[in-house]
Amino acid sequence: MGPVHSAYNYVFPPDPVEIYNPGLEDRISHANDAVESAFQDMSQTFAQMKSVMQKTQTDWEKYSTPLSNSCQDIRKELVRLAHGSPQCLDAQERILPLLFKKRAKTGEEIKGCARGDLPFAMVPSTCQCIAGNEAKGCDAEVDSDHVLQCTHLRRRILPALQLQQLYEGDGDCSVSEDASFNKALLQDGQPGDFQVVHASMPVIACFHQEPSCCSQRRGAFL
């Protein structure tokens, strides 16, 4: 029996879909250039931030110890003044009237007061009782001419200095993790993960069934 010949047409599967996207290469090139430019800017900013941080660390090492010592000294003096307040009050309200009564008899000069016309400065002055009776311990309604220096300091100078602000908020002696200069430059969780933004682009699909775009492949296998 001779060879049996069978013949049939074999149709090849269609080629993969070809995508036609006008201007795609230009957009990719533009996107790459934009990313490169942004990266260079970010690198420069990082270098500047690093330089600022290094300078900040150098300044901190240089000035932190003297600042700490000054803040501690101020606090010690304020504590010492607070402990001496009862003695100062006693001298103003009890001892000074006794001295005025004594001077009414002897005429002795009384020292230890401060000038009342200079409320924000400590200028020593003799104690006077112009508007009162010294024999009665100086019963004047206004004591501006016979305020002891310790009283003047507590009543006028210290309130004007507002030294408590040094230890509050962003005061020079308030250095902690809550200080404004210790706050992070970025919020928690930033920078976040890089997110790819998918932009819609016009896409034209060209299938090989269209003779104008593609060629058909046919063959015969015998």
Higher pLDDT, 191 or 93: 93
The b-or-e profile of 82-106 (16+ CB within 10 A means b, else e) is eeeeeebeebbeeebbebbeebbee
Prior bond of 86 cis (ω within 30°): no
pLDDT at 51: 86
pLDDT digits (tens, 9 = 90+) for 69-107: 999 999 999 999 999 999 999 999 999 999 999 999 999
Q: How confident is the model at residue 47 (pLDDT cuts 50, 70, 90)?
A: confident
Q: How far is CA 158 from CA 72, 149, 165, in A?
A: 17, 12, 12
**Three-state secondary structure along the chain?**
CCCCCCCEEEECCCCCCEEECCCHHHHHHHHHHHHHHHHHHHHHHHHHHHHHHHHHHHHHHHHHHHHHHHHHHHHHHHHHHHHCHHHHHHHHHHHHHHHHHHHHHHCCCCCCEECCCCCCCCCEECCCCCCCCHHHCCCCCCCCCCEEHHHHHHHHHHHHHCHHHHHCCCCCCCCCCCCHHHCCCCCCCCCCCCCCCCCCCCCEEECCCCCCCCCCCEEEEC
Whole-number Å distance between alpha carbons of 132 and 144: 12
Mean pLDDT of the chain: 80
Whole-number Å distance between alpha carbons of 70 and 75: 9
> Taking residues 151-162, what's their average pLDDT?
92
Whole-number Å distance between alpha carbons of 148 and 125: 9
Whether this model's pTM surpasses 0.75: no
Are the C-beta atoms of 156 and 120 separated by less than 8 Å? yes
pLDDT digits (tens, 9 = 90+) for 166-180: 988 778 888 777 666
User: Is the pLDDT score of 162 beyond 70?
Assistant: yes
Q: How confident is the model at residue 49 (pLDDT cuts 50, 70, 90)?
A: confident
User: Is the pLDDT score of 208 beyond 70?
Assistant: no
Q: Please return the burial class of 129, using the count of CB atoms within 10 Å of its CB with bins 0-12, 13-18 and 19+.
A: buried
Higher pLDDT, 56 or 109: 109
